[in-house]
Amino acid sequence: MGQLFRKGRAYRYLAILCWILACLVLGHMATGQQLVPEWVWAPLVAISLAMLGVLFLQLTAVEREATVDILTGSMTRRALHRDLDRFTQRGEPFGLIFIDVDGLKQINDTHGHSAGDELLQRAADCICRSSRPSDLVYRYGGDEFVVLVPGADAKLTATICARITNTAGEGVLSAGSAACPDDGFNGLTLLASADLTMYQLRSQRRSATRPDMSPHTPAVYDIGAGEYVR
């Protein structure tokens, strides 16, 4: 939105031009006479139309910035809440998959944020390749993604969830799922349910593979080898 407000001067000029045009049109309607010469009228109309076009393009760009994550190309949290409202209002069945990228903080601390950004991009690509073309992928937070699965029940959603984690490899992504109406009807409640399932499955996996590892201990990703080492 900052970019939009920085263009405020141009918008004020546009408002002034529109006000002038409105006065001229109303004056013409009231008197039946053209109040300004043709050589003045035509440029005013042309400039106003051009500025309206620029305003439309800028508003479109601002809307895209608000709904598309620049780093991963996924949609944003704002877009997710918009789509959840739409699906729940229509009463359509859908599934939600909550995904966490394990070890992102350690990557940022050890290798720098550029390596962390690369990991997020790889994760987003893996999620998109493992999902159906009709599924919607969102970056929910720093290391969190959500997949909205239209028309899916709990079984299909869990199947896609497992496919995502299996494609990524052991311990790379943690994921849990929930579905409407199987697990509830409220979008935020379903998100919380999928998040809880993700956490429980991750804890079980770590306890099974490394009994000495706390469920709160994240895995460690070797950016050079492209794999997790713990």
Q: DSSP string covering 35-101, please? A: -S-HHHHHHHHHHHHHHHHHHHHHHHHHHHHHHB-TTT-PBPHHHHHHHHHHHHHHT--EEEEEEEE
The stretch 199-207 carries a mean pLDDT of 84
Q: How confident is the prediction for the chain on average, in pLDDT?
A: 78
150 — pLDDT class (breaks 50, 70, 90): very high
The pLDDT assigned to 33 comes to: 63
Q: What b/e string do you get for 216-226 counting C-beta neighbours within 10 Å, with b at 16 or more?
A: eebbebebeee
The pLDDT assigned to 141 comes to: 87
Q: Residue 217 pLDDT more than 90?
A: no
What count of other Cβ atoms lies within 10 Å of the Cβ of residue 33? Answer: 7
In angstroms, rounded to a whole number, what is the distance separating the alpha carbons of residues 74 and 120? 11
- What's this model's pTM, rounded to 2 decimal places? 0.68
Active-site residue (options: 143, 195, 212, 222): 143
Q: Residue 17 pLDDT more than 80?
A: no
Give 224 or 144, the one with higher predicted confidence.
Answer: 144
Q: Are the C-beta atoms of 103 and 109 separated by less than 8 Å? A: no
The pLDDT assigned to 105 comes to: 87
Q: What is the DSSP letter of 178?
A: E
143 is catalytic: yes
3-class DSSP state of 185: coil
The pLDDT assigned to 218 comes to: 44
